[in-house]
Amino acid sequence: MLPKTTDPLATIAWSRLRDLSAPGTLPELCDLLAGEPDRFERWVLRCGDIICDFSKQRANTAVREALFALAREVALPEWIEALFSGAEVNNTEGRAAKHWALRLTGADDASSSELFATVLDARQRMYQLAEDLRAGRLIGASGRPLRQLVNIGIGGSDLGPRLACDALAPYCTSELAAAFVANVDAAELGRVLALCRADETLFVVTSKTFTTQETLRNAQSAKAWLRDALGGEAELGAHFVAVTSNPQAAAAFGIDTDRVLPMWDWVGGRYSVWSAVGFTLAAMIGPKGFDAFLGGGAEIDRHFRASPLAKNAPVLAALFGLWNHNFLNFADQAVVPYARGLELFAAYLQQLDMESNGKGVNRLGQPLGMASCPAVWGTVGTSGQHAYFQWLHQGIPGAPVDFVLVAQPEVAWAEHHEMLLANALAQSQALLQGKALSAALAETPARTDLAAHRSFPGGRPSTTLLLPRLDPRRLGQLLAFHEHKTFAQGVLWGVNPFDQWGVELGKNLASPLLDALRGGPEPEALDASTRGLLREIKALRGGSARG
C-alpha cells in the first residue's frame, strides 16, 4: 500500500515556508553565520564517510523546522519505507523501484530473500565473466584474448558506468582498456574503433529492451566493422556481451546465451550502474573493487532508511534544494566537483535529477502548481572558475552551488592538490561573503567608476560534500547519496521519479522523419518549420530539391 500523495501546496508547512521567504523576512546568509558561532557543528551531517556541510545555506532554524514539517506532511518517512519494502512506488508503470536491492550483501536484513538470491546469481555470473576477461580466458574469433572493452549504451546504460570507470581510473587494471559509445553520431563510434584492434575487442551492448534505436544502430555498425576486419565467416558472437531483459533479442542479434546478463523492470536505467549494467566497471576494477562500490552504496541505504529526518543527509539535501528552487527562486543548480575523477559527475546528475523529477504533473496526473527540478549543470573546478563562475558571483540571480571536495589526492603531488582545495574553499567563501561597494571603493579610490564592477552581492548559498578519498567505496556512497536525494525530492514535489515519458515523444516522432531522410514521403503532420529544415537538409545532402 502506497502512502497518500499530498499536494505540497496544500500543506501548512508550505504556507509557513512562503512566509519565511517573504522579502525582508529572512536574514542575510553572512548574518546567519556571524550570529551562530556553532553553526558549522550544528549544520554538518556525516553520511557514511561523506561530510555534508549545509551551513552556507540561506536558512535559519525556523526554515529548517518548517522544511522538516513539510517532509512529514507529505509522508516522506512513509515513502522511504515504501521504497525499501518493495511497494510499487513507480505507480505510472505499476512497478517497484528496487535499485537498492542491487547493493544487498549477506550482511543485510533481506539477504535471505528471493530477491537477494536473484541479485546474487546475476552478480556472480557477471563476476565470473569479468574474471575470465581479466585473466585472458575470453578469446575472440581469431584466437586472441579480448583486451579492449567498448561499452555501447545510452542514458543510464552509459552515464553511470562511464562516470565510474573514469572516476576510478587509478583502480582499473592496466591489462584492459575501456571505451564508451552512446551517441548515434557515427563520429563517436568511428573515433573509438580507430583505436581498437578488431581481434581483441569485446563489445558490451546494454539495452533493457534491446530495441533502443541508438544502441542497436551502433551495435550493428560494430558488428559490420568486425565482419569486415575478421572475415564474414568469423564467430562474431565471441566479441559481444549483452546486458538486457530481452535475451531472445540478444540471441537473434547473434550473442551467445552465456554472454547475456540480466536486467529487470524494477531497476530504472539511471539507477542501474550497480547491476550488470556495470559489467565494464566490474571488469576494470575487479569483483573486489565492485563489492566495495556496492558496499559504499549499501551504507547510504542504511543511513537513508534508518536516520530520522533531522539527521538524514540525503533528506536535508533534498529539502534545501526545494527551498532554494521554490522559495528563493533559483532556477538552476550548479554542481562543481574539485576532482578530475568526477569530471562526468554533473552530466550523470543531469540525467538522475532532471529525468527523474523534471515533470509537470504529480503522481495522480494533476498539474503541478510549482516548478519541480532545477536545471542541473556544472564542470570540474578549477576550470569552471574561468568560465561560468563570473555569472555565479555577479549574475542575476545566480545559482546555488554544490561543491564536492576530495581530501586525499589521486596523484601524490601535494602542491597541486593543496591549490585545488584552497580554490574550492575560496569560491564557497566568496559566494557567501561577496565584496561590499565600500570595500571596492577603498581598493580603487581613484576609479570610483569601477567600484560597482568590482563589488559582489554575496549571500549565495552552497553545500559542500567532503570525501576522504575517491575510491570504489566512497564513489558508491556519493552516487547512492544522490539517488536518495532525488527520490526524496520527488516525494516532496509529489512526482514519480521513476518514469520518463518525456523521452518517448521525440523518439516516436523521429521514425517517420528518418524514413523521409531515406527517400520516403514527408510526414503529413509536419509543422512548417520542421518541414523546411527537413527539405534544407535533404538539399544539402544531395537529395530532393527544395520545395
Domain boundaries, the chain: 12-73+307-431+457-493, 99-289, 502-540
Q: Has residue 366 got a pLDDT over 60?
A: yes
pLDDT (0 to 100) of residue 109: 61
SS (H, E, C) 426-452: HHHHHHHHCECHHHHHHHCCCCHHHHC
Which residues, in sequence order, are CB contacts of 278 under 8 Å at separation 6+? 126, 160, 161, 164, 272, 290, 293
pLDDT (0 to 100) of residue 545: 42
Domain covering 12-73+307-431+457-493: architecture: 3-Layer(aba) Sandwich (3.40)
Task: Please tell me the distance from the alpha carbon of residue 189 to that of residue 191, in angstroms, as a whole number.
Answer: 6
Across the range 450-473, mean pLDDT stands at 96
Q: Render 207-240 in DSSP notation, one character per residue.
A: -SSS--HHHHHHHHHHHHHHHHHH-TTS-GGGGE
pLDDT (0 to 100) of residue 111: 56
Mean pLDDT rounded to a whole number for the chain: 96
Question: Is the model's pTM score more than 0.85?
Answer: yes
Task: Please tell me the distance from the alpha carbon of residue 64 to that of residue 36, in angstroms, as a whole number.
Answer: 15
Low-confidence winner among 48-52, 102-106, 168-172, 394-398 (lowest mean pLDDT)? 102-106
Across the range 71-95, mean pLDDT stands at 97
What fold, for 99-289?
A: Rossmann fold (3.40.50)
Low-confidence winner among 296-305, 501-510, 536-545 (lowest mean pLDDT)? 536-545
First CA to last CA across the chain, in angstroms?
58
Low-confidence winner among 216-220, 356-360, 386-390, 439-443 (lowest mean pLDDT)? 439-443
Across the range 436-456, mean pLDDT stands at 90
Asked whether the domain spanning 99-289 has the same topology as the one spanning 12-73+307-431+457-493, the reply is yes
Decide if 139 contacts 145 (C-beta within 8 A).
Answer: yes
pLDDT band at 110 (very low <50, low <70, confident <90, very high): low
The residues that are catalytic are 355, 386, 507
